Amino acid sequence: MSSPETASERTVRHAFGNVLAFFVLLLIGVLAFSIRLFSVIKYESVIHEFDPYFNYRVTQFLTKNGIYDFWNWFDDRTWYPLGRVIGGTVYPGLTLTAGTLWWVLHSLNIPLSVETVCVFTAPTFSAFASWATYLLTKEVKGPGAGLAAATLLGMVPSYISRSVAGSYDNEAVAIFALIFTFFLYIKTLNTGSLFYATLNAISYFYMVCSWGGYTFIINLIPIHVLLCIVTGRYSSRLYIAYAPLVVLGTLLAALVPVVGFNAVMTSEHFASFLVFIILHVVALVYYIKGILSPRMFKVAVTLVLSIGLAVCCAVISILIAVVASSPTKGWSGRSLSLLDPTYASKYIPIIASVSEHQPPAWPSYFMDINVLAFLVPAGIIACFLPLSDASSFAVLYIVTSVYFSGVMVRLMLVLAPAACIMSGIALSEAFDALTGSIKFQLLGFSTENSQVGVGDASPDNAPAQKNAVKSDASENTLKDRTSRKNKKKEKERGKEEQGGQSSLQSQIKMRLQVLPLESSIIGVFLLIMLGAFYVVHCVWAAAEAYSAPSIVLTSHSQNGLHVFDDFREAYAWLRHNTEVDDKVASWWDYGYQTTAMANRTVIVDNNTWNNTHIATVGTAMSSPEKAAWEIFNSLDVKYVLVVFGGLVGYPSDDINKFLWMVRIGGGVFPHIKEPDYLRDGQYRIDSQATPTMLNCLMYKLSYYRFVDADGKGFDRVRQTEIGKKHFKLTHFEEVFTTHHWMVRIYKLKPPKNRIRGKAKKSKSKASSISSSKKSTKIKKNPWL
């Protein structure tokens, strides 16, 4: 085995393996990129959904006006009359990334439009994310598992749903940043290199720039550190992996305007500081233990413990008092709804009203991670054989992300990489065992063992060799550590360092004896079937389920494809045929699209930062026409936009969202009461509906002259005939309705000239009660 021939053969094999791995990775990148192009091929190269339109608009501003104007951008096109400071309230990572890409392309004279760059940012970064997964899994369980995990991640439906071409959202970039940060943490943990620790902090900074989900990192890593300390795995590498991250990372995070002092002031970050202190205490203890004799050490421990406990109690009680004095205990609403799943539905209807903030149903697990759900347990088991620092981190990652995904369907996205890593490990281990035993059975023991030895050792060797090249210091620490703790790890390392020596042979023998030929062939076959099923499912999900841009709807009929392009029809109409400064009121869902596509000022948008303002719009929509007109007029609104699906059966229209408007409006303005809109607790718009419902603005704007369209007024979404068919609008006039009636735009009529005689008459007629009523009504309107 140690002959020169086999050694050279081994290097050739090694080089071949590297080249093969490189090409496989390249293909995985191509796969990850191209599986996300279904949306472009089936539909068109266009920005999807709601939030991406905002990001796109910000990117346009960035590329046009430059970075300084971007930081200082006060957007007066939205949240009229409040406006919004974009530079200080937006996670800039995504826009800066796309802006930089665009700038680089343009300096090379490649004239891609900003839109094209934005559309393809997400697929590009999902290729990066799968490479990052390879690196992370390689650190945990070797390159075989890495490649498997990268392949799985490249096409996991959960991630595809947020990163198809055109889905230009924060998550597209953030998942890459998340995985890459974890990789660098594990890399630092494995090597103890300060270089990687610094890179880790920078990568964490990028993550903070990109997504609010960075709190997941800054909580998960401390938990892992704590776990390592508790299980007696403290080492100087752990210190190097963690301390620079907290110090540098927090400093860098505070540079991002949207985070700022939150990086040290909110409860989401306290865990990291607490663990930082604990880590230092532990480090100190180990240091003192090293210089004192065991007896002296015991004395010192008792002394320090008794004093330290008292101090700790005092500090903690102060801390708790400070935290408890703030109403939300220092946690933001979204974080709280994570820790207490019932929180949002109780206190913040806006968070609860978003469908992606709901807990997922069981089928969505099957839809989003498919067979990975079954492979994950196997992967967790594989992580315990043997348990290393890295694999314990992977286990921790999957456990926490499973919990979070159970709270919010959106966080399924965080679960996906963890599931891919675990399944990659499981698949790779299973294939290792099965193919190994097939080889053994077919070729016999004597010729086989050297080859298996090589094949088995090379993956583990790769990092070890790299370690040797990169830093001698790490080698020393590695030895330090092995001498102290972790018998299993020592065994493994020992195995690596000795390469293919006799101790290995016995191990292989032990492992190979387990499986007979037939069952292992069947096992391999079944695994391939499982993989094939996964691939088929992913391609289906990418092509059918997640590629629709949602601003264009299609339906298949006998005479081919029918396209419903009503949203853009309405936005284009607004853009070209209204004054530049006109204000458009709609429910907040359409705010981003209106500003981006119609370039008109909106009252509320998808950045739901001001609940009162949204409640005002909700109140207007659920008020009768005159009161609504007054609210809108006080907000300078010129046009009101409603989405109506009743004619063509588009289910997510404003009538179906209307109860949320009532709820959110009623939350701030108590004269709007939800029961007024419900008949016996049922939401209905047919003849049984309550008069409040039938007279509210939303009903009127949606169904105005609807009965003339088909003669009956049959609503295809609600499957009923509407309750009130013939009515006139007195304060609004229809100015535009799209081809399929999906978007209807109304203009506020100008206030009528007051006719003196009439006004007097009404005054004389009106009793004191009605006038007082009027005054209270005016009071309720916050903008008068």
Partner 1 sequence: MKLIRLALPIWSLVLLCVLHASSSQEIQIVNAERRIDLSSHIVKVFLTLKIENTGTSPVSDVLLAFPPTQANHLALLKAQAATGKRKKKTFTFLDVYPAELPEGPNGTKYFSISLHSKLGAGEVVTLEVLYMLTHSLDPFPEEISQSESQLVYYRDSAILLSPYQVKQQITFIKTPSSKIESFSMVEPTNRAGAELKYGPYENRSPHSYSPVIIHFENNNPFAVVEELVREIEISHWGSIQITEQYKLAHAGARHKGVFSRVEYQSRPGHSGISSFRHLLARLPPRVHSVYYRDEIGNISSSHLRLDSKKSELEFEPRYPLFGGWKATFVIGYGLPLEDFLFELPDGKRYLNFSFGCPLVETVVNKLTVKVVLPEGSLDPSVDVPFPVEQYLEKKYSYLDVVGRTVVVLEKNNVVPEHNSPFQVYYHFNPIFMLAEPIMLTTTFFLLFITCVAYLHIDLSISK
**In this structure, is the dihedral angle defined by the CA atoms of residues 769, 770, 771 and 775, taken in order, positive or negative?**
positive
Cβ distance to partner 1 smaller for residue 40 or 152: 40
Cβ distance to partner 1 smaller for residue 464 or 530: 464
Contact between 445 and partner 1 per CB under 8 A: no
**CA–CA separation, 247 vs 263, rounded Å?**
11
Type of residue numbered 245: L
Min separation Cβ 354 and partner 1, Å: 24
Cβ distance to partner 1 smaller for residue 739 or 761: 739
Q: What is the DSSP letter of 95?
A: H
Q: What is the DSSP string of 168-187?
A: --HHHHHHHHHHHHHHHHHH
Q: 673: helix, coil or strand?
A: coil
Query: Which of 490, 497, 565, 674 touches partner 1 by CB under 8 A?
Result: 565
Please state, in angstroms and as integers, the Cα–Cα distance from residue 300 to each residue in 81, 173, 182, 292, 643, following that order. Answer: 65, 50, 37, 9, 72
Stretch binding partner 1 (CB under 8 A), from 146-154, 234-242, 443-451, 575-583: 575-583
Min separation Cβ 243 and partner 1, Å: 25
Contact between 581 and partner 1 per CB under 8 A: no
The label of the residue with tokens 């009743």 reads 646
Cβ distance to partner 1 smaller for residue 62 or 420: 62
Q: Site residues for partner 1, window 720-759 (CB under 8 A)? A: 733-739, 741
Cβ distance to partner 1 smaller for residue 119 or 661: 119
Cβ atoms of residues 613 and 82 within 8 Å: yes
Query: Which of 90, 597, 685, 717 touches partner 1 by CB under 8 A?
Result: 597
* Number of residues counted as binding partner 1 (CB under 8 A): 33
Min separation Cβ 409 and partner 1, Å: 28
Min separation Cβ 9 and partner 1, Å: 21
Per-residue string for binding with partner 1, 212-231, x by CB under 8 A? --------------------
Q: 82: helix, coil or strand?
A: coil
Contact between 111 and partner 1 per CB under 8 A: yes
Which of 343, 237, 354 lies closest to 286, judged by CA? 237
Cβ distance to partner 1 smaller for residue 575 or 780: 575
Cβ atoms of residues 634 and 777 within 8 Å: no
Min separation Cβ 468 and partner 1, Å: 10
Contact between 44 and partner 1 per CB under 8 A: yes
Which of 88, 175, 167 lies closest to 128, judged by CA? 175
Cβ distance to partner 1 smaller for residue 439 or 705: 705
**In this structure, is the dihedral angle defined by the CA atoms of residues 311, 312, 316 and 319, taken in order, positive or negative?**
positive
Cβ distance to partner 1 smaller for residue 387 or 572: 572
Cβ atoms of residues 650 and 566 within 8 Å: no
**CA–CA separation, 17 vs 4, rounded Å?**
20
Q: 638: helix, coil or strand?
A: strand
**CA–CA separation, 451 vs 354, rounded Å?**
56
Contact between 572 and partner 1 per CB under 8 A: yes
For 52, the token pair is 């991406």
Query: Which of 251, 563, 759, 766 touches partner 1 by CB under 8 A?
Result: 563
Contact between 547 and partner 1 per CB under 8 A: no
- Ranges of beta strands (E only) in 126-255 are none
Cβ distance to partner 1 smaller for residue 577 or 687: 577
Min separation Cβ 646 and partner 1, Å: 13
Min separation Cβ 600 and partner 1, Å: 13
Stretch binding partner 1 (CB under 8 A), from 358-366, 388-396, 573-581, 634-642: 573-581
Stretch binding partner 1 (CB under 8 A), from 219-227, 263-271, 458-466, 564-572: 564-572
The label of the residue with tokens 């399929």 reads 740
**CA–CA separation, 367 vs 238, rounded Å?**
38
Stretch binding partner 1 (CB under 8 A), from 107-115, 278-286, 381-389, 486-494: 107-115
Q: 755: helix, coil or strand?
A: coil
**CA–CA separation, 47 vs 549, rounded Å?**
7
| Phi and psi at residue 642, to the nearest 5° | -125, 150
The string over 318-343, giving b where at least 16 C-beta atoms fall within 10 Å of a residue's C-beta and e elsewhere, is eeeeeeeeeeeebbeebbbbbeeeeb
Cβ distance to partner 1 smaller for residue 527 or 552: 552
Contact between 705 and partner 1 per CB under 8 A: yes
Contact between 573 and partner 1 per CB under 8 A: yes
Type of residue numbered 498: Q
Q: What is the DSSP letter of 653?
A: S
Stretch binding partner 1 (CB under 8 A), from 235-243, 392-400, 574-582, 760-768: 574-582
CA 303 to chain centre: 48
Cβ distance to partner 1 smaller for residue 166 or 665: 166
Query: Which of 9, 76, 340, 472 touches partner 1 by CB under 8 A?
Result: 472
Contact between 577 and partner 1 per CB under 8 A: yes
Contact between 9 and partner 1 per CB under 8 A: no
Cβ distance to partner 1 smaller for residue 109 or 447: 109
Contact between 76 and partner 1 per CB under 8 A: no
Q: What is the CA radius of gyration of the chain?
A: 31
Stretch binding partner 1 (CB under 8 A), from 134-142, 285-293, 432-440, 565-573: 565-573
Cβ distance to partner 1 smaller for residue 739 or 758: 739
**CA–CA separation, 489 vs 475, rounded Å?**
14
Cβ atoms of residues 568 and 551 within 8 Å: yes
Q: How many helices (H) and strands (E) does the chain have?
A: 37, 13
Cβ distance to partner 1 smaller for residue 182 or 571: 571
Largest pairwise CA distance in the chain: 114
Contact between 509 and partner 1 per CB under 8 A: no
Query: Which of 281, 709, 721, 727 touches partner 1 by CB under 8 A?
Result: 709
Contact between 15 and partner 1 per CB under 8 A: no
**CA–CA separation, 783 vs 698, rounded Å?**
20
Contact between 714 and partner 1 per CB under 8 A: no
**CA–CA separation, 284 vs 262, rounded Å?**
29
- How many Cβ atoms are within 10 Å of 84's Cβ, its own excluded? 20
Contact between 109 and partner 1 per CB under 8 A: yes
Cβ distance to partner 1 smaller for residue 253 or 597: 597
| Phi and psi at residue 749, to the nearest 5° | -70, 145
Stretch binding partner 1 (CB under 8 A), from 103-111, 385-393, 538-546, 686-694: 103-111
Cβ atoms of residues 329 and 267 within 8 Å: yes
In this structure, the strands spanning 637-643 and 583-585 are parallel
Min separation Cβ 639 and partner 1, Å: 12
349 upstream amide cis, omega within 30 of 0: no
Min separation Cβ 143 and partner 1, Å: 18
Which of 157, 150, 534 lies closest to 367, judged by CA? 157
Min separation Cβ 295 and partner 1, Å: 40
Min separation Cβ 328 and partner 1, Å: 39
Contact between 46 and partner 1 per CB under 8 A: yes
Cβ distance to partner 1 smaller for residue 366 or 736: 736
Contact between 544 and partner 1 per CB under 8 A: no
Min separation Cβ 14 and partner 1, Å: 14
Give the binding site for partner 1 (CB under 8 A).
44, 46, 108-111, 469-470, 472, 551-552, 563, 565, 568-569, 571-573, 575-577, 597, 705, 708-709, 733-739, 741
